[in-house]
Structures are given as C-alpha cells and as structure tokens.
Structure 1
Amino acid sequence: MAAKGYFITATDTGIGKTVVTAALLALLRQHGQNAGFIKPVETGVDTHCSSSANSDAKFLLECSGLDEPLEAICPLRLKTPAAPYQSAEIENMEIDPAALVAACRSLAARYHPLLVEGVGGLRVPITPHYHVIDLIEELGFPVILVAGFQLGTLNHTLLSLDALHARGIPVKGVMFSDRKQDGLTDVEALQPALVSHLSKTPVLGRIPFIEDLSTDSFTPHLLAHLEQMINLPALLDG
C-alpha cells in the first residue's frame, strides 16, 4: 500500500493501544503532520448509547478533533464485549473483512500518516479464517506493538514479534504503556531494555500513567513531557 501509516496492535487486550494511539496522533499533528486514525472494529459498545468514556473510537475522535463521522473512523461497532468473530456470531452478523480494508484505504488516501488501531492482539479472530494479523498483512503498514509493564510481558511481546516476523510484516518498534498508578518495580523498569536486546527490535519509548485520563488530557504540557519519552523522529522520518 503506497500511503504511509502505522498499524498499532498489542500483546493483549487492555494493554493501552488507545492511549498510545491518542498520544502519537496528538504529537504528530502538533508537528504539522496531517495524521489521522481509524479503528476498523470495536466491540463492547452499544451503538445507541456510547460515549468517549466507554468507546475507544469516540475517545480518539474527540481527542483528535478530526472532522470525520464516527462511521468513517469506526465502520464496525459491536455490542458484545468479545472478539469480533464471537461478537458477530452472538449478534447474528457477518463481518466482511474487505469492507474494513476499504475503509482503511479510504482514510489512508487523505491522512498521512494514518494510525490504524487494532482490536486485542494479533490472533484475535475477525472471522474464522481472518484474524487481526491478516488485516495487518493486507494493509501493509509497519507495526507499532504496544506492550505493558507486567509479569509475562517478555513472553507475550517476543511471541507477538515472532508472529509478525514469520509473516514478513515490518515492525517499526515496541511502545511500552504504563497502566499502573504506583510506578514501576525494578523488574518492570528493565523490561524495555530486555525486549530490545532479546528481539533486536527498537523500543520507541514509553507512555507513562496518565492520571484522570480524558479527552482533554493531551495538553501542551503533557505533550512536551511525552515528547521526551518517545522517539518521535523515528515516526516523523517514516
């Protein structure tokens, strides 16, 4: 795919993909980039009653200030909080992966870079025979893999990187997301360096814990702090 973008996926669900996407989107736009985003699939949201507090897509839309309809930046929204394939089965729906790819390509023609936020991890099924990793491969964007600070991170991160490399999918780097308020243990603080050493993959930085996270959190003060913790030139240079 000719248009520039990044696919943001994670080692698991609940790791911090949305916060990373929001932070990178804000930083890129602050640097004059015409950055946009899309979350092709979201589950666990009621299409008739959702807000930025319980919808990642609405949260990102309000954070970014993009003038796009919700349907464009999140073409598939399912109520059941489960993997898309399971949610669709419960709700008696059929998912068309081609429609998700087309939605991504439509926005990629207008935003550079386009940040595509996945759902869960790489092997989350969208249909029985089409998983998140298949969507990544079809779009052709390099991956930013989000990892958390916790026991099991080395295993989950290295397995995810192995799966991407086995498909020949380019990996831009790993981004760590701190989801805990009480700071890092000595073991957790060493995890980024260990991931980089063991995988030979760049670590792009760390998103610290953001207290009282909201769509108004990404102030100039916070962005200045984030820029010190993230290798933004690596993304600006493509």
Structure 2
Amino acid sequence: MKGFFITATDTGVGKTIVAGGLAGVFRKQGYNFGVYKPVQSGHLVHHPEGDAARLKKLSDVDDPLEHICPYAVEEPLTPILALRRTGKQVTLQDLQDGYLRLKEKHEFMIVEGAGGLAVPYVADGLVVDAATMFQLPLIIVARPNLGTVNHTILTIEYAKQRGLQVAGVILSGYRDEIAGVAEKTNPSIIYSYTGIPILGIIPWIEELDRREIVLSVLEESVQWNQLQII
C-alpha cells in the first residue's frame, strides 16, 4: 500500500483541502486513491462542512461517509476529549480496522490526521502514533506567514524522531497581495534547515466549495513530479 498521511503544523491551515485535492487530482490521473479521516471533531459525519464530506467531494470516491470517517463528534475539541465527552472509547486498532476496510478497495490511500502530530487522538495514542501505524510517508501542511518556520521545523524533527518519513511540505493559503519578506522567504528557509522539499505553495482559495476550482489550483501549485507514489 502506498499513499500519504496528511498532517499539519496546526489546526485550520488547509489540511483537508490538500488531502482531498491531492486525492482528486491523483484520481483524475488514473490512480485508484481512497481517502480516510479516522476521527473528526467539530461536525457529525454527514455535515456538508465537515472534513469527511469535503474529502469525499474533492476526491470523488464512492465510499460511504461512515467508512471515510468512522468516528465523528460534534464538539470542536481535541479528538480524545470530544470522543470521551460522548462516551466513545476508540483505540488505534479501531482506526486500523477502518483503514484496512478501505484498503481493500483502493490501491493508494490518503489519510488525514487531526491538527498536528502531537494532538491527543484516541485512548491509546496521539496522531503521531496513528501515522506510525499506517506506515505512510508524511506530507506536512503549513501556513505561509511569520512563525511557520519554527512550527514546520519542529514538526519535521518530531516526525523524524518517531521514525516517520517526511515526503515534503506544502504551504497553504498564500496571498500574494499581502505577502511580505517572511512569506516570500519561508519556503527556502524551511528547505535550507531541513532538506525537506517544498512540494507546493497553494494560494488562498475563496471558493472552497467548488471542486473544479480547488483541483485546478492544486494542479498548478503542487510539484507533482516530486510526489513518488509507486
């Protein structure tokens, strides 16, 4: 099984758009990609603004939402706390079971975590523990502005300490009209200190509900020749 685990330096940096958009473009290219969001907090699974619904729409898979996201809770809290407050006891093995179910249908998988790698996730692990279990290379989504160098380098170093392969970094939400020195130099600084390739700089997308626009932006913004999936 090949694919990617999509994580981020923080919450709300565009991780779902990257995960779903990558899967959607890869599927347009003829690759059989599935998408998996093991735990979602902030929306129930069928809510149209939830991560699972966005992943399904962007990727255009026919898997049921309950398979894409087997554990969804409404409160916008760190996943382990949101799950506990609904009385749900979820383990890493539960997440693995859902992954294996989708893996039977797809040659490649894109798995989206929650927030960053050190987020408390399920009863017996952090997000990083789930990423280790799935054994997929990481793509780290980061914001483009001041402060992202620190957050990105820390995330990369933590991933390496845990034995994870980092495929690259994608900066999301770049606004050329307000970009300053930090935004224009952050990609090269991150690369110079980590050696991890910058796979793309995705501009701010206003119409996130329009699949064709999101996929078109990613097609133009991502360095597809650097994404090794085979």
- TM-score normalised to the size of structure 2? 0.92
The residue that corresponds to 2:224 in the other structure is: 232
Distance 2:87 2:188 in 1: 45
Q: Secondary structure at the match of 1:77?
A: strand
Distance change (3 Å), C-alpha of 1:233 and 1:83: same
The residue that corresponds to 1:217 in the other structure is: 211
The residue that corresponds to 1:96 in the other structure is: 91
Moved more, 34-43 or 84-93: 84-93
2:191 counterpart letter in structure 1: S
Q: Secondary structure at the match of 2:76?
A: coil
Distance 2:219 2:88 in 1: 42
Q: Is the 2:44–2:73 contact (alpha carbons within 8 Å) kept by the matching residues of 1? A: yes
Q: Secondary structure at the match of 1:173?
A: strand
User: Percent sequence identity over matched residues?
Assistant: 34
Q: Determine whether 1:134 maps to 2:126.
A: no
Deviations 1:158-191 (A, max 9, x none): 1110111001111111111016585422211211
- Write the mapping of 1:157-168 to structure 2, written as runs, cut at 5 A: 157-168=152-163
Q: Is the 1:8–1:118 contact (alpha carbons within 8 Å) kept by the matching residues of 2? A: yes
Shift of 1:137: 0.6
Q: Secondary structure at the match of 1:66?
A: coil
Shift of 1:98: 0.5
2:17 counterpart letter in structure 1: V
Distance 1:12 1:4 in 2: 25
Moved more, 225-234 or 55-64: 225-234
Correspondence for 2:71 among 60, 76, 79? 76
Specify every segment of 5 or more residues in structure 2 that has no aligned partner in the other structure, as ranges: none
Distance change (3 Å), C-alpha of 1:181 and 1:217: farther
- TM-score normalised to the size of structure 1? 0.90
Moved more, 176-185 or 151-160: 176-185
Q: Quote the RMSD (CA, aligned, Å).
A: 1.9
Q: Secondary structure at the match of 1:205?
A: strand
Shift of 1:225: 4.7
Q: Is the 1:23–1:218 contact (alpha carbons within 8 Å) kept by the matching residues of 2? A: no
Q: Is the 2:20–2:35 contact (alpha carbons within 8 Å) kept by the matching residues of 1? A: no
The residue that corresponds to 2:101 in the other structure is: 106
Shift of 1:102: 1.5
Correspondence for 1:195 among 190, 196, 211? 190
- Write the mapping of 1:15-94 to structure 2, written as runs, cut at 5 A: 15-47=13-45, 50-52=46-48, 54-94=49-89
Q: Secondary structure at the match of 2:171?
A: strand
Moved more, 227-236 or 109-118: 227-236
2:40 counterpart letter in structure 1: E
Q: How many pairs were matched up?
A: 230
Specify every segment of 5 or more residues in structure 1 that has no aligned partner in the other structure, as ranges: none
Q: Is the 2:159–2:166 contact (alpha carbons within 8 Å) kept by the matching residues of 1? A: yes
Q: Secondary structure at the match of 1:161?
A: helix
Deviations 1:21-74 (A, max 9, x none): 122112111111111111011001135xx532x201011112222111111100
Distance 2:39 2:116 in 1: 13
Shift of 1:212: 2.1
1:39 counterpart letter in structure 2: K
2:66 counterpart letter in structure 1: E
Q: Is the 1:37–1:115 contact (alpha carbons within 8 Å) kept by the matching residues of 2? A: yes
The residue that corresponds to 2:203 in the other structure is: 208
Q: Is the 1:26–1:218 contact (alpha carbons within 8 Å) kept by the matching residues of 2? A: no
Distance 1:76 1:112 in 2: 23
